[in-house]
């Protein structure tokens, strides 16, 4: 695939958010792809924070995480399969000793790349290095307009450092996006955090409902905003979208994980979620593992993925989750299929 074709696929697969993204694979259209269009990759599980909502339950390293060599082997396969787009997350990916080497390799192979970070390890030098990578974007998490709210959700976090990271990234010309996750005690700051994002000069502000996965599932009653709070949140973001039109992209994903699962049953997206240990999940909200990069090739896993969405066990469990959303709490209790 040429770089130009890759870029076309990227914009089809990601520009308008996950629901539009899956239109690419409408009616199991993913069957027609010989490789995924998108590889979200949790590079590591280590994190300096213990966020109350963390869907990955990150903190300590996972047993048997992919080595540097295994990580490179995975990237090599992604390049050989002409995967157009990857996103590196964690854990906190900036804590991984080989993050820059891996990113260099991905970019040298013309794969578009986004990095998701809490920003706390982005100093002047890191921002310069990230700028050299010519990334699709760096996404910084900012969960409050004030240190108090951000740090209440992001336990052990430092709001000032996240804000400084945004300033440094913007200073060095990195396309920077802010992601805000609304919970009961920060949602009232939505308008203020959008305004803050604009004052920092970032390219985009993204938000959407908190997913009931991982630690968010464990802390659901104290985190999940009320319907009234969500109504107000959507209204605020609609207003902010018009206010900043042409100046900063404001995007709010309108569906929750249950809506998404209903849609995925009919139309699985053309992506594979890669965990730090090389295991590959069908989707973050389900427990199913459809492959292991330590044992199988990426193309084999892609074939497993396509079959897995037709597996009666997966279909039945997904329907059960849709009917009983508290089953989302099982998302990180992996089931190999």
Binding site for ligand SAM (CB under 6 A): 47, 53-56, 89-90, 92, 116-118, 141, 179, 181, 210-211, 213, 216
d(CA 8, CA 155) in angstroms, rounded, equals: 39
d(CA 137, CA 334) in angstroms, rounded, equals: 30
User: 121 or 294, CB closer to ligand SAM?
Assistant: 121
Q: Tell me the β-bridge partners of 89.
A: 42
User: 97 or 246, CB closer to ligand SAM?
Assistant: 97
CB of 136 to ligand SAM, least distance (A): 16
User: 13 or 210, CB closer to ligand SAM?
Assistant: 210
Tell me how far apart the 2 most distant CA atoms of the chain are, in Å: 51
Q: Name the 3-class secondary structure at 154.
A: coil
Residue pair 220/266 in contact (Cβ under 8 Å)? The answer is no
CB of 216 to ligand SAM, least distance (A): 3
User: 53 or 279, CB closer to ligand SAM?
Assistant: 53
112-117, strands of its sheet edge to edge? 249-253, 204-208, 176-180, 137-141, 112-117, 85-89, 38-42, 273-274, 279-281, 288-292, 335-336
CB of 206 to ligand SAM, least distance (A): 9
CB of 282 to ligand SAM, least distance (A): 18
CB of 1 to ligand SAM, least distance (A): 28
Relative orientation angle of helices 257-266 and 312-323, to the nearest 10 degrees: 150
Closest of 292, 280, 303, 288 to residue 336, by C-alpha: 288
User: 211 or 272, CB closer to ligand SAM?
Assistant: 211
User: 54 or 113, CB closer to ligand SAM?
Assistant: 54
CB of 34 to ligand SAM, least distance (A): 29
């Amino acid at each position: 695939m040429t770089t130009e074709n890759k870029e076309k696929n990227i914009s089809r697969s990601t520009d308008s958010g996950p629901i539009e993204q899956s239109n690419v694979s409408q009616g199991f259209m993913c069957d027609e792809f010989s490789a995924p269009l998108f590889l979200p990759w949790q590079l590591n599980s280590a994190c300096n924070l213990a966020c109350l909502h963390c869907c990955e339950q990150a903190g300590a390293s996972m047993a048997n995480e992919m080595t540097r060599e295994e990580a490179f082997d995975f990237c090599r396969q992604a390049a050989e399969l002409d995967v157009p787009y990857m996103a590196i997350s964690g854990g906190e990916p900036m804590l991984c000793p080989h993050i820059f080497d891996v990113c260099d390799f991905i970019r040298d192979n013309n794969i578009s790349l986004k990095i998701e970070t809490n920003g706390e390890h982005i100093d002047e030098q890191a921002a310069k290095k990230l700028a050299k990578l010519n990334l699709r974007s760096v996404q910084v998490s900012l969960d409050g307009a004030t240190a108090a709210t951000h740090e209440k959700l992001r336990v052990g976090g430092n709001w000032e450092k996240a804000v400084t990271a945004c300033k440094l990234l913007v200073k060095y010309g990195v396309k920077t996006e802010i992601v805000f996750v609304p919970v009961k005690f920060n949602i009232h700051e939505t308008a203020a955090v959008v305004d803050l994002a604009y004052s920092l000069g970032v390219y985009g502000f993204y938000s959407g409902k908190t997913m009931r996965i991982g630690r968010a599932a464990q802390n659901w009653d104290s985190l999940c905003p009320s319907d009234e709070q969500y109504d107000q949140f959507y209204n605020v973001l609609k207003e902010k979208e018009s206010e900043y039109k042409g100046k900063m992209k404001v995007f709010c994903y309108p569906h929750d994980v249950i809506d998404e699962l209903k849609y995925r049953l009919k139309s699985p997206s053309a992506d594979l979620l890669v965990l730090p240990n090389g295991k590959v999940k069908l989707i973050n909200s389900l427990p199913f593992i459809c492959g292991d990069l330590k044992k199988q090739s990426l193309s084999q896993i892609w074939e497993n993925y396509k079959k897995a969405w037709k597996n009666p066990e997966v279909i039945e469990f997904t329907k059960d989750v849709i009917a009983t959303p508290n089953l989302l709490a099982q998302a990180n209790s992996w089931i190999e299929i």
